[in-house]
């Protein structure tokens, strides 16, 4: 029996990865210094593995993204991999590859563009390079690392779905070549990641998949790794010439059932992912001992004990967290502590150490202060009617129209306005105690005043306060809620060198006091036009946090929803007529397999509706920033929001197509310009987008707004863009007879 770990964070304990690469971009770090620094960082990363586990792969390190690296290896982009500028050009230059979410995580990968015309060839043998560079570090078996062909092709774009088998066979050749070279150089195994096998795998993919792995398995001893969920085609993998198969036994519960049913081949290694790579709660080592003994007796396979998914979804280490509640600190594990757990588990199993359980709860600081009977009661007492608004949309709509008196094609924005360096500096100064609370508040008020004035000048119909007081839409609310903690150093990569710190939801959640009331009512006091109350929804708060596991996730979401509902009440009480509850994570939090969607969307919609249970005359908006709506529109309907604003410009009409096939009965604002681009859209192009959309979406249900919040843009871009947007609205009203006319 061995311990095995993979996916250990590349960021470094002091975020060295980010510092080095960004320093290089800014011209502050030389190319040599970057290479030396990265080599040292990799050495430390591998040394950490070596300290705790028996084996680990080499070649995981990347300067930006592993999917991009794979595309370069296969000759899709034939830049010289040693040419840093060419590399970063692909990663973040003007014509960079698009970016999208990596499975159901918050990591974003670069999406390669493939077509039938792509000439695949082995262009760069990255694992070979790494194995040669790092051989000296490891005394353990030498194991290369690769993203597998199925995952690579499936997560790329540019080709029609039926072309996938063709492309899969086409990439197999350079893959085979690469593997043979690695094998010849003396590698014992190659870890080949195929997380795409946990998605729904269409039957049409299987023959090509089998053929490809038949040949790759002969090129080198493969450890085919899957994670994030269970593999429904497991028996098929059993027949392939693989040295081992990695299964996530934490987030792929059905994997255990599959093993129970089909067994596990005794000539293969089972890389048993029993330690959680996605969440932070310490493992129950006693229970894991039993699970391992069980697996051993039931399968007869060679067992390698491992993490269930790459450790990169966890911060580096809990150790430097000095300010964390000791009760919480004692109960969580980040990547390094996961390696320690593997080591400890193995020692126990071999009888090498006594079984004083480090996760033994009785030795830990108590957690009574985490719980609130009141919050528990409130959730326990919820009845079906608490999740529904008093009146259906058809009755709310006329009440809201009468109250708001908006023109045809009302214009609005998604919430945030530019977060200038000044805004960020002031926030930091306030946090560091350099300016007083009163000074900070005055500063924020001035920003709000300027923002309202500007929106009035531009002529927008529904205004926002600008979100200057918020760094991050989840952090802002999480900090104001009981039961949610923040780390000081718990950074994760979200893409490239970009990092974020997820909160940890550990106890019962409730709001201490109103969270947004002050800023929103201040903004509303400055104008006759409606100002939207801005909240982040419960599903998004849950999706972007580490979540407690001692109660079902929907109960966590309901607790948060109730706290938000209190906020909605306060805003209504203060006369706010429109409230927007952002749920950008509503779609992305959905499970990977379609079969699991219904139950998820059921609680997700319920949580949203619980938060959004506003009076009938309050217009409830929600915002989501993505565009693959085809399969989820009816789940969005379940949210019962009066207005949804979504991202639409970058999807080139796909969104509108979705509405062609589904009769969405409420109001919708498919974004009319791309906030990710500094380009100021022209009036005519905005008009053209709207004209196309209103062929499908009825005019009286159409809102005009950007794709998303404007916080990453500069004022010089935002002002003309919004002026053009408002001008487009006027032109359309003139054309369709709606200017100044109140709609019924």
| DSSP reduced 3-state for 276 | coil
Sign of CA dihedral 676, 678, 679, 684: positive
Least distance to Zn ion, CB of residue 625, Å? 3
Least distance to ligand GLN, CB of residue 708, Å? 5
Least distance to ligand GLN, CB of residue 584, Å? 4
Please report, to the nearest 10 degrees, the dihedral formed by the alpha carbons of residues 729, 735, 741, 744 taken in order: -90
| Residue entry with tokens 């269970």 | 230
Q: How far apart are CA 14 and CA 667, in angstroms?
A: 47
Half-sphere exposure of 6 (CA within 13 A, CB side): 32
Q: In terms of CB distance, is 178 or 492 closer to ligand GLN?
A: 492
Contact 181, 212 (CB under 8 A): no
Least distance to ligand GLN, CB of residue 623, Å? 5
Judged by CB under 5 A, does residue 534 bind Zn ion? no
Q: In terms of CB distance, is 555 or 649 closer to ligand GLN?
A: 649
User: Could you confirm whether 676 is annotated as catalytic?
Assistant: yes
Contact 231, 237 (CB under 8 A): yes
Which residues are at the interface with ligand GLN (CB under 6 A)?
Answer: 414-416, 467, 473, 534, 582, 584, 623, 625, 708-709, 711
DSSP 313-341: GS-S-STT--SS-HHHHTTB--HHHHHHH
Least distance to ligand GLN, CB of residue 580, Å? 7
Q: In terms of CB distance, is 43 or 471 closer to Zn ion?
A: 471
Q: How far apart are CA 258 and CA 253, in angstroms?
A: 9
Query: Could you say which of ligand GLN, Zn ion, none residue 252 binds, taking C-beta under 5 to 8 angstroms by partner kind?
Result: none
Query: Could you say which of Zn ion, ligand GLN, none residue 473 binds, taking C-beta under 5 to 8 angstroms by partner kind?
Result: ligand GLN
Least distance to Zn ion, CB of residue 421, Å? 22
Q: How far apart are CA 362 and CA 359, in angstroms?
A: 9
Query: Could you say which of Zn ion, ligand GLN, none residue 153 binds, taking C-beta under 5 to 8 angstroms by partner kind?
Result: none
Q: How far apart are CA 100 and CA 123, in angstroms?
A: 25
Judged by CB under 5 A, does residue 625 bind Zn ion? yes
Q: How far apart are CA 243 and CA 222, in angstroms?
A: 5
Which of these is catalytic: 634, 676, 724, 730? 676
Least distance to ligand GLN, CB of residue 35, Å? 36
Q: In terms of CB distance, is 309 or 416 closer to ligand GLN?
A: 416
Query: Could you say which of ligand GLN, Zn ion, none residue 582 binds, taking C-beta under 5 to 8 angstroms by partner kind?
Result: ligand GLN
Tokens coding 415 = 């919430």
Residue list 691-720, contact with Zn ion (CB under 5 A): 708
By beta carbon distance, the residue nearest Zn ion is 625
DSSP 377-414: HHHHT--GGGGS-SS-HHHHHHHHHHHH-PPSS-B---
Query: Could you say which of ligand GLN, Zn ion, none residue 451 binds, taking C-beta under 5 to 8 angstroms by partner kind?
Result: none
Q: In terms of CB distance, is 128 or 473 closer to ligand GLN?
A: 473
Contact 27, 332 (CB under 8 A): no
Nearest alpha carbon to residue 409 among 465, 464, 459: 459
Q: In terms of CB distance, is 176 or 706 closer to ligand GLN?
A: 706
697-706 as b/e: b if 16+ CB within 10 A:
bebebbbbbb
Least distance to Zn ion, CB of residue 584, Å? 5
- Measure the N-to-C terminal CA separation of the chain; round to a whole number of Å: 72
By beta carbon distance, the residue nearest ligand GLN is 709
Strand ranges for 538-618 from DSSP E:
546-547, 578-582
Give the rounded distance of the alpha carbon of 718 from its chain centre.
Answer: 26
Q: In terms of CB distance, is 534 or 641 closer to ligand GLN?
A: 534
Query: Could you say which of ligand GLN, Zn ion, none residue 415 binds, taking C-beta under 5 to 8 angstroms by partner kind?
Result: ligand GLN
Tokens coding 540 = 């998004």
Q: In terms of CB distance, is 231 or 704 closer to ligand GLN?
A: 704
Nearest alpha carbon to residue 495 among 91, 130, 147, 151: 91
Strand ranges for 442-513 from DSSP E:
481-485, 492-495, 498-500, 504-511
Judged by CB under 5 A, does residue 523 bind Zn ion? no
Q: Are strands 619-624 and 99-101 parallel, antiparallel or unpaired?
A: unpaired
Least distance to ligand GLN, CB of residue 415, Å? 3
Judged by CB under 5 A, does residue 53 bind Zn ion? no
CB atoms within 10 A of CB 718: 20
Query: Could you say which of Zn ion, ligand GLN, none residue 224 binds, taking C-beta under 5 to 8 angstroms by partner kind?
Result: none
Q: In terms of CB distance, is 127 or 533 closer to Zn ion?
A: 533
Tokens coding 28 = 């502050």
- How many residues sit close enough to Zn ion to count as binding (CB under 5 A)? 2
Q: How far apart are CA 232 and CA 255, in angstroms?
A: 8
DSSP state letter for 191? E
Site residues, Zn ion (CB under 5 A): 625, 708
Residues marked as catalytic: 676
């Amino acid at each position: 029996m061995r311990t095995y770990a993979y996916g250990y964070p590349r960021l470094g304990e002091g975020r060295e990865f980010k510092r080095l690469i960004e320093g290089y971009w800014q011209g502050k770090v030389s190319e040599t210094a970057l290479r030396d620094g990265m080599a040292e960082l990799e050495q430390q990363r591998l040394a950490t593995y070596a300290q705790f586990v028996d084996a680990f792969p080499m070649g995981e390190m990347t300067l930006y993204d592993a999917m991009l690296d794979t595309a370069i290896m296969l000759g899709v982009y034939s830049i010289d991999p040693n040419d840093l500028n060419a590399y970063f050009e692909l990663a973040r230059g003007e014509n960079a590859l698009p970016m999208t979410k990596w499975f159901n995580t918050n990591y974003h990968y670069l999406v390669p563009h493939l077509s039938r015309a792509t000439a695949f060839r082995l262009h760069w043998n990255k694992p070979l390079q790494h194995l040669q560079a790092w051989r000296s570090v490891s005394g353990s078996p030498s194991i290369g690392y690769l993203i597998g062909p199925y995952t690579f092709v499936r997560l790329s774009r540019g080709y029609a779905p039926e072309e996938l088998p063709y492309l899969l066979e086409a990439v197999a050749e350079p893959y085979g070549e690469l593997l043979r070279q690695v094998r010849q150089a003396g590698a014992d195994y190659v870890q080949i990641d195929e997380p795409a096998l946990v998605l729904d795998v269409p039957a049409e993919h299987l023959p090509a998949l089998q053929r490809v792995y038949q040949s790759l398995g002969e090129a080198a001893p493969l450890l085919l790794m899957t994670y994030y969920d269970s593999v429904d085609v497991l028996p098929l993998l059993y027949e392939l010439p693989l040295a081992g198969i990695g299964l996530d036994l934490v987030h792929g519960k059905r994997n255990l059932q599959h093993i129970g049913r089909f067994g596990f081949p005794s000539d293969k290694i089972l890389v048993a992912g029993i330690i959680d790579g996605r969440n932070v709660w310490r493992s129950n080592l006693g229970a894991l001992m039993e699970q391992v003994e069980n697996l051993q007796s039931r399968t007869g396979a060679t067992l390698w004990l491992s993490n269930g998914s790459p450790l990169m979804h966890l911060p580096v280490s809990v150790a430097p967290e000095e300010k964390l509640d000791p009760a919480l600190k004692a109960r969580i594990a980040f990547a390094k502590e996961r390696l320690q757990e593997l080591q400890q588990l193995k020692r126990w199993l071999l009888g090498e150490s006594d079984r004083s359980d480090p996760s033994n709860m009785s030795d830990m600081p108590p957690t009574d202060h985490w719980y609130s009977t009141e919050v528990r009661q409130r959730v326990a007492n919820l009845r079906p009617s608490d999740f529904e608004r008093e009146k259906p949309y058809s009755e709310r709509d006329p009440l809201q129209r009468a109250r708001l008196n908006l023109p045809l094609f009302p214009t609005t924005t998604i919430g945030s306005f530019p977060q200038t360096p000044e805004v960020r500096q002031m926030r930091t100064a306030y946090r560091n105690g350099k300016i007083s609370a009163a000074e900070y508040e005055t500063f924020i008020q001035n920003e709000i005043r300027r923002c309202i004035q500007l929106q009035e000048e531009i002529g927008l119909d529904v205004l926002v306060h600008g979100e200057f007081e918020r760094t991050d839409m989840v952090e802002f609310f999480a900090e104001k809620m009981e039961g949610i903690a923040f780390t000081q150093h718990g950074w994760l990569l979200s893409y490239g060198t970009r990092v974020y710190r997820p909160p940890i939801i550990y106890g019962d959640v409730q709001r201490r006091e109103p969270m947004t009331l002050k800023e929103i009512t201040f903004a509303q006091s400055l104008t006759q036009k409606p100002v939207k109350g801005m909240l982040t929804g419960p599903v998004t708060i849950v999706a972007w946090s580490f979540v407690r596991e001692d109660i079902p996730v929907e109960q966590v979401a309901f607790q948060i929803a109730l706290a938000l509902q209190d906020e909605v009440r306060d805003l209504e009480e203060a006369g706010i007529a429109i409230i927007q509850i952002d749920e950008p994570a509503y779609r992305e939090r959905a499970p990977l397999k379609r079969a699991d969607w219904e139950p998820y969307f059921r609680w997700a919609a319920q949580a949203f509706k619980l938060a959004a249970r506003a009076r009938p005359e309050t217009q409830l908006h929600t915002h989501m920033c993505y565009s693959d709506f085809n399969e989820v529109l009816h789940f969005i309907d379940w949210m019962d929001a009066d207005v949804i604003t979504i991202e639409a410009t970058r999807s080139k009409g796909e969104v509108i197509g979705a509405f062609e096939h589904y009769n969405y009965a409420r109001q919708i604002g498919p974004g009319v310009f791309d906030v990710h681009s500094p380009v100021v859209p022209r009036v005519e192009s905005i008009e053209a987008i709207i004209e196309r959309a209103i062929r499908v979406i009825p005019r009286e249900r159409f809102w005009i707004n950007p794709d998303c919040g404007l916080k990453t843009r500069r004022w010089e871009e935002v002002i003309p863009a919004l002026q053009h947007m408002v001008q487009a609205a006027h032109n359309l009203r003139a054309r369709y007879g709606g200017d100044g006319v109140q709609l019924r």
